[in-house]
């Protein structure tokens, strides 16, 4: 389960970084 948690954390961290840069996340485009 630790891998799942790490993957989710990386995913959320990437989303936050993109939002800070003003880039719309891929999820919002779908």
- Whether residue 25 has pLDDT greater than 80: no
Q: How many CA atoms lie within 13 A of 15 on its CB side?
A: 10
Query: How far is Cα 7 from Cα 22, in angstroms, rounded to an integer?
Result: 23
- pLDDT band, very low/low/confident/very high, at 20 (cuts 50, 70, 90): confident
Q: Give the range of the structural domain holding residue 16, as residue numbers without chain letter.
A: 1-30
Supply the pLDDT for residue 10: 93
pTM of the complete model: 0.45
Positive or negative: CA dihedral 30, 28, 15, 4: negative
- pLDDT band, very low/low/confident/very high, at 22 (cuts 50, 70, 90): low
Domain total in the chain = 1
Supply the pLDDT for residue 16: 84
Query: How far is Cα 18 from Cα 23, in angstroms, rounded to an integer?
Result: 5
Positive or negative: CA dihedral 12, 3, 5, 27: positive
């Amino acid at each position: 389960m630790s891998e799942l948690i790490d993957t989710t954390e990386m995913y959320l961290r990437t989303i936050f970084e993109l939002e800070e840069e003003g880039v719309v996340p891929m999820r919002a485009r779908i």
